[in-house]
Amino acid sequence: MARKLFGTDGVRGVAGEFLTAELALALGASATRRTQAARPQVLIIRDTRESGEMLQAAVAAGVSAAGGDALLGGVLPTPSAPLLIGRYGFDLAVVLSASHNAYADNGIKFFSADGYKLSDDTEQDIERELEHLEADPTAASGASTRIGRIRDLRGAPEDYLRELHTRFSELDLGGVDVLLDCANGATYHVAPEIFRRLGASVSVVADAPDGRNINAGSGSTHIDLLADRVVQGGHAVGFAFDGDGDRVLAVDRRGEIVDGDELLALATLHLRERGRLTGDGVAVTVMTNYGFHAAMERAGVNVAIANVGDRYVLAELRDRGWTLGGEQSGHIIEMGFNRTGDGIASALLTLEALAGRDLSERDAMAKLPQRLVNVSVGDRDALARAPAVETAVRAAEQSLAGRGRVLVRPSGTEPLVRVMVEAPTEEEAEDVCGRLVALVQQELG
């Protein structure tokens, strides 16, 4: 197994091909052994993919073979895992989901006893053990002669709902007409339920999972569906979750899409006003809109910039002791509530921040027009050796200084160079981006 298994968010691939039952069993056993608990208690939850039951059985077998007890929580959003760890004191949680990917993919990600995802070092240890076991199947480190149990964790959805209700107990949504797009994923039951409990009038789309329709033309990666439905139905606001429920995007009553940058700006100013923005700072990524930075500068809020990926945002928050961070894609982390992105909590936080105002009246930031193009290249690493591109980027940055920004970076996983330009007008963003794209194609294509 001389291959890298863990990516930026666990192990992910086509179920039954890359992500086999054998691999899932081995991962479950290895991660369980690393808990160091005498009898590890391991939570397993999943989204609605048809491969979820197979992988759940395999992971549970691995947990049991390693001497741990596997507690099956059923279909639940990823962010419920850290909250259930805190409630029950589990030694490990396993989430089976490929987030916003199509149904054929699935993934395995782990949360340790402190509620955070496994460290890079622990993931590397697991990879090394599995590679060693492939060469010598009898060499399992810390192998147990005791067999653990596998049983259902009854009431897990209610426990998650209780955590949400406790956090937002003062939020009264009476009279608020909400449309939710659950992506036929893990939020399909719990999201409508918590909104109803808080008093909202709730309508739902994409809440009938069949194992194969998760994220299919719905959810936060296909938000046009929600935008159309909000306008047609005359709803006040709409929220679209992704398949595992750790991100959310919104739509106002006019059908305008509100991305993670705007949601985060609303949350930042709200928590600061409430005295709950630790360090008066917020963590974002390099993709965050320039308008967000301008708004935070006016408000006197510190901004830390991380690489793309919620794990990097989380690392900034932990290093600085801050409370809030997020991504343009809709991952928003409020450390005062959870230790990972929580789409449902973020939607409720948005309504809490609005304090009865309409989302169409939001004024936390003014977004700059953005143009983003992914350019196919032969070697993405060659960008670092392209002086003509570097010179052109520097010139574009100087022309937009104080008015916008330029970002040209290689993809972390694909043979692409991402060219992003933000400018005061659509025309200027399009013009600058077009010239840089042409140069990247010429130099690296």
Helices (H), 136-259: 156-167, 190-197, 224-233
Pairing state between β 281-285 and 324-326: parallel
Which of the residues are catalytic?
A: 99
Number of H helices, E strands in the chain: 13, 19
Helices (H), 234-289: 260-273
Count, residues in the chain? 445
Other residues' Cβ atoms within 10 Å of the Cβ of residue 402: 7
- 85 token code pair: 């760890």
- 273 token code pair: 């006003």
Quote the CA–CA distance of 419 and 380 in Å, as a whole number: 12
Residue type, 32: T
Using alpha carbons, select from 110, 79, 97 the residue that is nearest to residue 332. Answer: 79
Contact in structure between 297 and 364 (CB atoms under 8 Å) = no
Tokens 């989204």 sit at which residue?
A: 47
Contact in structure between 164 and 222 (CB atoms under 8 Å) = no
Q: How far is CA 160 from CA 154, 165, 194, 234, 368, in A?
A: 12, 9, 10, 30, 37
Tokens 């949350």 sit at which residue?
A: 267
Contact in structure between 195 and 202 (CB atoms under 8 Å) = yes
Q: What residues contact residue 224 under an 8 Å CB cut-off, 6+ apart?
A: none
Quote the CA–CA distance of 101 and 214 in Å, as a whole number: 8
- 260 token code pair: 């993670």
DSSP helix/strand/coil, 4: coil
Contact in structure between 106 and 12 (CB atoms under 8 Å) = yes
Quote the CA–CA distance of 49 and 36 in Å, as a whole number: 31
The 3-class secondary structure across 407-420, one letter per residue, is EEEECCCCCEEEEE
